[in-house]
Chains A and B, each alone.
Chain A
Amino acid sequence: MIIPSKRRTFLKAGLVASVGLGLINQLHTSAKAQPANPSEASDLGTFDLKKLKNADAVLIAALAPVILAGTLPQAEDARKIAISEVVDAFDRTIAGLSPLVEGEIRELFSLLHFSLTRKYLAGVSKPWDEASSTEIAAFLSSWRNHRFALLQSAYQALARLMIACWYGNPLSWGAIEYGGPPYGKELGL
């Protein structure tokens, strides 16, 4: 059977995206089985990470300013705190998911950590903490509109988790003029 070349690429990428996820995850977890040591994450502040690995925290901290552009604080210090709280909330969120969903997110992270898939599937040539925001935005846009539903849903999972972690945090409410729940004021706490 003759398969047109466009179709071949499609199949190849599909193979990487589906079958590859599990393999890459195994490669990655065997190479970096240790959870993050809080002291390793010193450039991001001190994390008491429950579920995330250090590389995951670096990835989230790199994606956050792009996904949350427009409402993250502008001032450097406030911005750093906000991002570190988003990473922390991400970690807490993962810790509240079923082992199965957590596994799916781990596979996604592995795919993004592994340099070959990061390069060829996400289109990001440098490690996440060195990638430019333009490059990260291009990656997010390409997955958002990708022809593979799997990558579209991976984008949505990443974006939604990040968005939930930020807008669940009172630090975000000023930028959206949300006064917060009336809990303390009206209920006498």
Chain B
Amino acid sequence: MASQIPDPIKIALADPARNWKVIDGSSLDKHIAIECDVVIVGTGAGGGTAAEILSTAGLAVVMIEEGPFKSSSDFRMRERDAYQQLYQESAGRQTKDKGITILQGRSVGGSTTVNWTSSFRTPPDTLKYWQQQFGLKDYSVEAMLPWFTQMETRLNIEPWGVPPNENNDILRRGCDALGIPNAAIRRNVRGCWNLGYCGMGCPTNAKQSMLVTTIPSALDKGALLIHSARVEKLAHGLGRVTSLSARGMKMGAAGVCTEAGDIKITVLAKHYIMAGGAINNPAVLLRSALPDPHGNLGMRTFLHPSAACAAIMANKVEAYSGAPQTIYSDHFLSTQAINGEIGYKLEAPPIHPVLAGITLQGFGIEHAQWMKRLPNMHVTIALLRDGFHPESVGGKVGIRADGSAQLDYPISEFVWRGVRRSLLSMAEIEFAANAKIVVPMHEDGKPYTSWKEAKAEIENLPMKTLRAHIASAHVMGGCGMGVDPRKAVVRGDGRHHQIENLSVFDGSAFPTSIGANPQLSIYGMVARNASLLAKALGGKLGGNIAG
């Protein structure tokens, strides 16, 4: 029996009147070549936004996505299926030294299909830093406002009117008890059921991801979507990209495409847009041996390295239920200068058994003691704002022998100091919210029963790779923008400094991290830059395009 929730994607695909052009790269049996105005690599926040704007302008758009085309009827709220189907490297992507685990989407809609819906405009401090350090004069709060407003309207980004779930309310109560300012997070949802399984793909289509908004819109306007295809290289000469080569993915034994097959897909376009996410974008450009006269490509890749601290409460928390991440505090971003000691944003993530299990330390009884208290568990995470200090230069994307991307992100002492401070802040807040036990997610973390004990212990925890469990859900930079080609890969409008018909339209263009969940920063920046590109390519801009 089918779900009672209509699946708008499956319905549209079956409707001849919609005439969607979709190619499954994994089922191609012969090489194909396609011509178009613009080809977009990646269908996440950047690619999806660009696809709608450019196809609305009347340009012939091709989107290429490495992941599969899954939609609401496929989203069954099961971690074991979702992580394998919808995430890069089965949600097990890691930095070179395996010290940071990276959650990044890989399906049509990219990370927007699986993110937790947190929506923040780029913080004014971050924009100011970009203006001062990277000469990005167009990125003022005032100049960006119409682009954020446009995308907020498009994706129904609004205050969340429902009370926070207990997991988030604990963060609120703990902050309140200590006089730490906190606020509600806006979300990109429409008619949300408050289920709490956003990370496994929204089963009710409430989340206004690219999958259910801009991509269907682009397909309705005649864009072509090629999914399950991996982009390998851009051919180039005389300062221009001349073609893009991709391969259809090969279906693996687990029903997941894990490697490219033999079928070649060639795209000839007037303009090429990279929106495959930080890590993947620099990898394609590195494989293509594009000009990189100042060695900026792949450098300054940022992660918002995130530490986590769990608490066991007297009452049920059921942090797997109810909208994730609805309360935040930026207090510790603003207690010091943006270019001083590293600041961090506090949030309360959803806690599902697999995600909790792999993040908690230990094995056997030590591990099971926490798993058995899952219903009473609260977790706070601290997202560290990297990239604003000389000792926080982020990581470097490189290419392995097999051509795949690898991020080398050694955690500096500067960042480790921030991890320790964040664990102290989180523990104090959790005890202020009446936690019975607090345990930092760290191999040497023990259960602490008072703030005094926790403080003494956390001050002595070794801050070392693989000891503290560090994760990231926000990969940014690597193709950073700036006016000076010696310090940047692309200009402020996303166009490549050396290659005329190439743009980078996603989080990889950020010259630092954002200091907030990045989706709305990507939407705003790309809405602006895609509109400028549409104009430059002779597209017709509709009345709904700001600026």
Contact = CB atoms under 8 A, between A and B. Distances in A.
B466 A149 contact: yes
A122 to B, nearest CB: 15
A80 B214 CA distance: 48
Nearest to A160: B358
B372 A153 contact: no
Contacts of A66: 363-364
A147 to B, nearest CB: 11
Given A66-B364, A70-B368, A187-B4, A176 B353 contact: yes
Interface string B123-147: 0000000000000000000000000
Contacts of B98: 153, 156-157
A97 B256 CA distance: 9
Nearest to A140: B363
Interface string A153-184: 10011011001111111001101111001110
Interface string B437-467: 0000001000000000000000000000110
Interface in B330-382: 353-354, 356-358, 362-365, 367-369, 371-372, 374-375
B368 A69 contact: yes
A188 B353 contact: no
Interface stretch (B72-80, B171-179, B239-247, B297-305): B72-80
Nearest to A183: B77
B223 to A, nearest CB: 29
B466 A164 contact: no
A19 B89 CA distance: 25
Contacts of A149: 97, 465-466
Interface string B247-289: 0000011101011000000000000000000000000000000
A51 interface: yes
A50 B251 CA distance: 13
Contact of A169 (B80, B197, B400, B402): B80
Given A66-B364, A187-B4, A187-B5, A92 B89 contact: no
Nearest to B371: A176
A71 interface: yes
B363 A178 contact: no
Contacts of A188: 3-5
Contacts of B200: 181
A96 B93 CA distance: 12
23 contacts: A51-B253, A67-B367, A68-B363, A68-B368, A89-B80, A93-B84, A93-B254, A96-B254, A97-B92, A152-B466, A163-B363, A167-B354, A168-B78, A168-B353, A169-B80, A175-B368, A175-B371, A176-B371, A176-B375, A178-B353, A183-B76, A183-B77, A187-B5
Given A71-B368, A98-B404, A186-B193, 13 more contacts: A66-B364, A68-B363, A93-B84, A95-B254, A96-B258, A140-B364, A145-B443, A149-B465, A163-B358, A175-B368, A181-B197, A183-B203, A187-B4
Interface of B: 1-5, 76-80, 83-84, 89-90, 92, 97-98, 193, 195, 197, 200, 203-204, 252-254, 256, 258-259, 320-321, 353-354, 356-358, 362-365, 367-369, 371-372, 374-375, 400, 402, 404, 443, 465-466
